[in-house]
Amino acid sequence: MRLTADIVAAEHEWVRERADRVVPLINDVRADLGAAFDAEVGTVSTAEYRAAVDAVFADGDLAVNVAALVALLRDLDVADDYPGFVVDELLGRELAGALAGTQPLRLLGEATFHYADVTTHTEGPAGMDDLDAALAAGFQTRLPGWEWADGESPFAVGSERE
């Protein structure tokens, strides 16, 4: 695989245009998790998703890694699928974590990937399920809408302590 700035830009556009598939997955995952945790969770619009995609790809160091993971998953198919189960899970989890952000969001994105993967079925190579699940898990974690994450943490220690 060779990555160039043009290829990263093409992957950016592909991920942006995947909104019609990913945004409903994000909202399904949020609804399921909200019900499981008895929480109100905001839905995500296509515009919010695309703005988050743009933010990820605006960070060049992150963009090249995300583009590589997306490209690998888009083409990944393993004869008899089961031997590829581990590699597509690994790549999907890494993509979800990278999209979610820094800790603890990264870990939440990775964990959410496994849930989203079980509920996501996409036609095409085996890696496409994992790709869509990773995009949904990573971006749903990154985007606002979870009450516990929408405000300041009660555990933050400010400079006013002396």
Q: What integer pLDDT is reported at residue 122 of this predicted model? A: 83
Instruction: For residue 21, tell me if it sits in a domain.
Output: yes
Contact 128, 89 (CB under 8 A): no
Is 155 inside any structural domain? no
Backbone angles phi, psi at 23, to 5 degrees: -60, -45
Q: Is 27 a domain residue?
A: yes
Q: Return all residues near 78 (Cβ < 8 A) that are at least 6 apart.
A: 84, 87, 88, 126
How far, in Å, CA of 31 to CA of 131, rounded?
20
Total number of domains in the chain: 1
DSSP class of 103: T
Strands (E) located in the chain: none
What are the Cα distances from residue 77, in Å, to 26, 29, 94, 122, 139? 24, 25, 18, 13, 24
pLDDT in tens, the chain (162 residues): 899 999 999 999 999 999 999 999 999 999 999 999 999 999 999 999 999 999 999 999 999 999 999 999 999 887 776 666 788 899 999 999 999 999 999 999 999 999 999 988 888 888 899 999 999 999 999 998 877 777 777 888 875 545
In a domain, 78, yes or no: yes
Residues 47, 53: Cα–Cα separation, whole Å: 10
Residue 153 located in a structural domain: no
Domain that holds residue 47: 5-146
* Residue 116 covered by a domain: yes
* Entry pTM: 0.92
